[in-house]
Structure 1
């Protein structure tokens, strides 16, 4: 019984996090692309601390992993997380956000971290 309650609580926390449009969009983007904070700053036109706060919340639940490449840190969906099978159908139902990455590439700001 305790396990079921824990699972419901965890699911509710995940859904609460994904209920935020910015975090949901980030998750959709990171499901197919590793992104760094500066790219999200450009995409969402938010400050770096605001973007980092969103990523921290996703990372705290283990939904996102980070990988350091030189001086950059890239974030992606943690597909090994035990709850990925729970969120994958949600992400699959969302419209592609790849055009946002394409816009960064066209502007020359893809992976141009400052």
Structure 2
């Protein structure tokens, strides 16, 4: 493998991770696979905006998607990027936020 290609690829990955929203999405997906609708709810952003971030992350090889019915679910895909895996260790945990959202969904009613 050409060292310059590796450095170029890493630089592109770090550019993707330089965005607060994408870094937050990464932290959320560290907890579990999530539907776009879950990410929209957690980030309080529009679906098109979240989808745009996810498209960029997918193109950069950070996430993978699976379609189930009308929803698309995203999960981390970092097998070729151990340096990003290391970064995940330092991201603040989002487990409580994800847990609350999923409990809220299963109860079918939530108070903000």
Shorter-chain TM-score bucket reads: 0.7 to 0.9
1:46 corresponding residue in structure 2: 45
Cα deviation per residue 1:60-98 (whole Å; 9 max; x = unaligned)? 011100112222211000143x12x11011001112111
TM score, norm. by length of structure 2: 0.86
Structure 1 unaligned blocks of 5 or more: none
Provide the TM-score with structure 1 as the length reference.
0.84
Could you list the runs of 4 or more consecutive aligned residues of structure 1 that deviate by over 3 angstroms after TM superposition? none
Pairwise CA RMSD? 1.8
Matches for 1:1-114 after TM superposition, within 5 Å: 3-80=2-79, 82-83=80-81, 85-108=82-105
5+ residue gaps in structure 2? Answer: 108-112
In 2: Cα distance, 1:109 partner to 1:42 partner: 14
Deviation at residue 21 of structure 1 after TM alignment: 1.2
* Cα pair 1:39 1:109 within 8 Å, conserved: no
Cα deviation per residue 1:15-65 (whole Å; 9 max; x = unaligned)?
111111111111121123111111111111111110000000000011100
- Report how many residues are paired: 107
